[in-house]
Structure 1
Amino acid sequence: MFIYVLVPALIVVVFSIALLLRLNNDSVKGDIDGPLENFSVLEIKVPKNEDSTRDVQWASLAAENMLATLHGLLREDDVDQEHFSMEMASDGTRGIKFYVVVPQGILKFVESQIYAQYPTSQIRVVEDYMTDVIEEGSYEISTITLSKEDFFPIKTFRDFEGDPLSGISSSLSELSGNDKIWFQVLVKPIPDGWQQTGYDYIEAVRAGTSLSKGPGFLSGFAGLFAKEIVEIGTGMVTNLFSPPPPTNPRDYGKSFSSQPPRLTSTQDLEIKSIESKLYKMGFEVQIRILSQADNSDRAKSNLRSVIASLRQFSTSNMNGFVSFPVSNKQTSLESFKNRAFMSNGTVVLNISELSTLYHLPSASVETPNISWIYSKKSEPPGGLPVNNCVYLGETIYRSQKVRFGLSNSDDRLRHMYLIGKSGTGKSTMFESMISQDIANGHGVGVLDPHGDLVERVLDYIPDHRIDDVIYFDPSDLERPVGLNLLEMEDPSQKNLMASALVSAIKHHFDYSWGPRLEYLLNYCILTLLEVPGTTMLAITRLLEDDNYRKYILHFVKDPVVIKFWEIEYKAMKGNQKLVTEAIAPIQNKVNRFLASTTIRNILGQRYSTIDMWNAMNEGKILLMNLSKGKIGEDNANLLGALMVSRIQFMALQRAKIQSNQRRPFYLYVDEFQNFATGSFESILSESRKYGLGLYLTHQYTAQLPEELLKAVFGNVGTIATFALGAPDARALANEFQPYFGEEDIISLERFNIYIKLMMDGMTSLPFSAEILRPWVPEMAVEVPQ
């Protein structure tokens, strides 16, 4: 009878030992093994508006391919084997972010493999965000392991209709206030020996000798020992209670089969599933979740939500994830922060399982608060100007920074056009460029309708260039600057000058303009240009005062002009209808702006105190502060248009100077739609030949007439856009395709641009860049004389 008591007792003892060993293996003791030292934290973002035609599985497939390559980090000596960490972090304010934490020794390799599979991703090295963890606060940590032996597979992305990341990310997004959750997956490649236990199990099932497919209690030495005890005990019991075997050889086949048992459909499916896991490379993995909140209940609730999201990977007859609370929270927290493998609690996942659990999001993941790239980056063209240029910004592509600019050559005279919403960085970019030009000795003009840019530029004037500054401030009523727009040295240029002035005034009164008014104004200006010392104030007097008109005509030599006044104008004066329709409107319009003390004090002086010719040819610094807040919008717009027409006229006068002696002059016009006269199209097409480079900026395309907008795109060599609204992004998209689309332009971050750069007379393909902040001395370069 003793044997009947001993055998069951042995079986119970051995089962208990095996169970304790398994539980001990799956729980976290607190012993730390292998902290990650000298590591870098890589923050990874991908575009949200990635190609929507891609299959929902492409992100997991990309991660699978990446992990297959990273498995090449496997070393022969496990002691020196590197590991890395794939992480998600979420809080109530900054949203969900994705990180990879790697040792410095494999940083470049890991980074290159991420780019290989996610070519449009953005990777940057950041400070370790784990410093945000408050050790004294309310936090909970849990380790995630498998419910069965490692060789049993979990569900992979091929078993899902959607992206399983959605479930995890949704649980991470349900945070508020000071809530924070960190999801950490430590990963270390392992050699192929890990599959052997699975193959032994498959062989046992096929042979009909499998003892269990359960949690794997009979594993290791204890398992083997227990298995032997069970088999011995079972044999003893069988011998005691079963009838003797048949003595007739013909009866042996009735009790024993020479063929393996026939597998059920469930067993067959089980074997195929296990084999599918064993076929692929494996990683030793440790999964941990850390939840922090204002109170313990909130921290536990958030932790349970994330753990619950992992149930989607479980199947009833295969494997799944289960959680084990830690026994020593403080030690586990240190392990978490150091990305250290605990000595216990690890599992083995193959590359498909691991890429299902962790991969970068795709457009199919609609979880709110994910930290996306909302505007793509692109590779810059080769041969960017990096010396002897005005620096524009830095290209940032795949962690490579290149400071580039617009070459101080003919490229700078092919003009530059900037467009972007208010506050995106246009004036900041101008400020940086202007300050460099001043430091480098170039001739510069700045026309600013707000005044802030000019005021800031004054701070960059070096001592040796103070005498070069010409400061035009119409709001200074005590010392008004003189600007006689009718001054002319070459009479052959009077038609050109008259046309420019008429165009400037027409721009100001475009809402009520007519051909007869333009015709009459043109003859007024042509007449006064022939008489030295006259000013714009004389226009209305010329129309109203017969004696003054006779006096002026005494100096006029042009017979066509004389004929107009003596015949046509006399006829107009005799016709009351024509007086009302033609003469009165021009009197009203001219008197309107000449009635302004500000305008009259400037345009009414017989001699100009600003020498535009000298400013351009000797490289002066012409700062025009046309602040609308000080002189009014109408006055600012009119003066600006007149100043632009004057600069254009002086540039055309350079035709009498040999081309190699025309010193470049760079004119920066902020909000240039306010000064864009009809002659602007000719300025864009002709001024390059005379050494005048235009730098233009404004906010949206509807501010410009369609013909002028076409002239800009047809003549400007360098085009850059900051963030725009939807209609303007649609209008500009053709300029930047196929590299950037409407959504990219709309979503550009502040101080970021898409640019097509003039390089050696050719416009580059579009690329992305971040503009430079205001100038620093290192940017200055010596200007060739």
Structure 2
Amino acid sequence: MINRLRKALDRSPQYEATQLDLEEPFIQPSEDAPGVLLRIRPFKENQGIVDGAGLLQSVHDVTTNFRGKNTSDHHSFEVWFDEGKVKFYMHAATEAAADKFRRRVGNNYANSEVFPVEDAAAFPVIDPDQYVAGARLEMEKIPYYPIRHHNSEGWETDPYGEITSEMLSLDESTVVTQVIFRPAKQSWTDGDRFKHNSVDELAHALRQGTSVGWIDPQTRPPSEKDKRAATVIEQQRGQQAFHVNIRVLAASSNQDEAEARARGVAGMFRKYYNAITEQGLDDTPVWHRKESKRAKRLQRFVRRMSNREWIDRHMIMTVDELAGVAHIPNFEIETPNIDWRYTQRGDRVPADTGQYSYDAIKQRAGNRQSRQGGQDRV
């Protein structure tokens, strides 16, 4: 029995950092990357999640074809710990979307700097000697059961405080969280006859009670929690929503550090658990029991992240839910090394903007390989 249990555990996905099959550093020059990457230096005095919800509402533009199929572009919000700093980015699928994001971020996050990343790397560099670990996050239940957000159970503190703190690592390590979002049609709450019912049908079923027992099935009357969950689910009708992908990546010359950061950051997203609907985010490591196949899966995972690739994982979030997992924080979080903007006016671009030129990246990779550890975690 114990041996069978051990074998089962050995087959389950684990955070096992692995070196990729790279002969030279993985670099994605901005000119070769799809879309436009925008860097954001937030002014600390903002409303955090509330402003994030306003921003998402302003960019909820759904396009459909003549058959009514959703053909909307997907974009991403990203947080990087790279070169010893925590930085914020948005990736727009097109130039037009990038222009809109720049204006809308400026409107919702006053005094923040927003500028395109040019003549630089559009994704953190990964060196051949680094170990890589990653994970994707998905909802535990079907989409209509919302996760925790600022208008449901609320937050005592901004969840990004713990997420960004967990991202802090060795200066030569990299940690990335990536939230890809794509606007959903207004009919998203109507259900899918092949997958799940509508919000109204789910709410009605919760109010009818739960069938229990196999031999002599009986209906258990709905509890107060069931009734509250039904109301919460029902309230989503008519709300704007987005299809979502969430990914976490960590790379470090220290294998244990890469594993710890990927596991720790992904674990922080469990704090979005909604006790009323019993909905949360569950992390699945990128893994395979064979090292060679694990390296290939991780390499494909890195390329998907760098290309901002969209994969439909049937995860939908309302504006309020998505704002919780994709927003610019404010002075409430106390994480050190955040790339804040401290002045209220001016358009000065940070001095380190061009630090990712190809020659500089090559030099940095060489420096990494010539140094071996010796640094404490921040």
TM-score using structure 2 length? 0.71
2:61 to 72, 82, 86: 72
Match of 2:183? 189
For 2:211 and 2:106, the matched residues in 1 are separated by 47
Look up the SS of the partner of 2:148 in the other structure. coil
For 2:36 and 2:128, the matched residues in 1 are separated by 22
Match of 2:76? 85
Match of 2:8? none
Q: Is the 8 A contact 1:181 1:292 kept in 2?
A: yes
Q: Is the 8 A contact 1:46 1:360 kept in 2?
A: yes
Match of 1:326? 286
Q: Is the 8 A contact 1:139 1:293 kept in 2?
A: yes
Match of 1:286? 245
Answer yes or no: is 1:44 the counterpart of 2:40.
yes
Deviation of 1:89 after TM superposition, in Å, equals: 0.1
State how many pairs are aligned. Answer: 298
Match of 2:370? none
2:334 to 363, 366, 369: 366
Deviation of 1:278 after TM superposition, in Å, equals: 4.3
TM-score using structure 1 length? 0.35
Q: Is the 8 A contact 2:43 2:112 kept in 1?
A: yes
Deviation of 1:47 after TM superposition, in Å, equals: 2.0
Larger RCO, structure (CA 8 Å, separation 6 or more): 2
For 1:73 and 1:119, the matched residues in 2 are separated by 26
For 2:221 and 2:140, the matched residues in 1 are separated by 28
Answer yes or no: is 1:163 the counterpart of 2:158.
yes
Q: How does 1:231-310 map to 2 (within 5 A)?
A: 263-310=222-269
Q: Is the 8 A contact 2:157 2:332 kept in 1?
A: yes
Q: Which runs of 5+ in 2 are unaligned?
A: 1-31, 191-196, 288-296, 352-378
Look up the SS of the partner of 1:107 in the other structure. helix
For 1:338 and 1:211, the matched residues in 2 are separated by 46
Match of 1:61? 50
Match of 1:138? 131
Q: Is the 8 A contact 1:186 1:339 kept in 2?
A: yes
What fraction of aligned residue pairs are identical, expressed as a percent? 21
Deviation of 1:37 after TM superposition, in Å, equals: 6.5
Q: Which runs of 5+ in 1 are unaligned?
A: 1-35, 52-57, 213-229, 243-254, 379-395, 400-747, 750-785
Deviation of 1:202 after TM superposition, in Å, equals: 1.1
For 2:106 and 2:211, the matched residues in 1 are separated by 47
Q: What value does the CA root-mean-square deviation take over the aligned residues?
A: 3.1
For 1:194 and 1:211, the matched residues in 2 are separated by 27
Equivalent AA in structure 2 for residue 42 of structure 1: L
Q: Is the 8 A contact 2:102 2:115 kept in 1?
A: no
How has the CA–CA distance of structure 1 residues 278 and 312 changed in structure 2, closer, same or farther, with 3 Å as cutoff?
A: farther
Deviation of 1:186 after TM superposition, in Å, equals: 0.5
Greater C-alpha radius of gyration: 1
Q: How does 1:661-700 map to 2 (within 5 A)?
A: none
Deviation per CA, 1:622-660: give whole Å up to 9, x if none: xxxxxxxxxxxxxxxxxxxxxxxxxxxxxxxxxxxxxxx
Match of 1:609? none
For 2:323 and 2:52, the matched residues in 1 are separated by 5
Q: Is the 8 A contact 1:206 1:261 kept in 2?
A: no
Q: Is the 8 A contact 1:89 1:98 kept in 2?
A: yes
Q: How does 1:215-230 map to 2 (within 5 A)?
A: none
For 1:366 and 1:152, the matched residues in 2 are separated by 31
Look up the SS of the partner of 1:72 in the other structure. coil
Deviation of 1:211 after TM superposition, in Å, equals: 5.7
Deviation of 1:90 after TM superposition, in Å, equals: 0.2
Q: Is the 8 A contact 1:286 1:346 kept in 2?
A: no
Equivalent AA in structure 1 for residue 163 of structure 2: I
Q: Is the 8 A contact 2:70 2:184 kept in 1?
A: no
Deviation of 1:160 after TM superposition, in Å, equals: 0.8
Look up the SS of the partner of 2:43 in the other structure. coil
Q: How does 1:698-737 map to 2 (within 5 A)?
A: none
For 1:302 and 1:349, the matched residues in 2 are separated by 26
Structure in which a larger fraction of residues adopt helix: 1
Q: Is the 8 A contact 1:74 1:190 kept in 2?
A: no
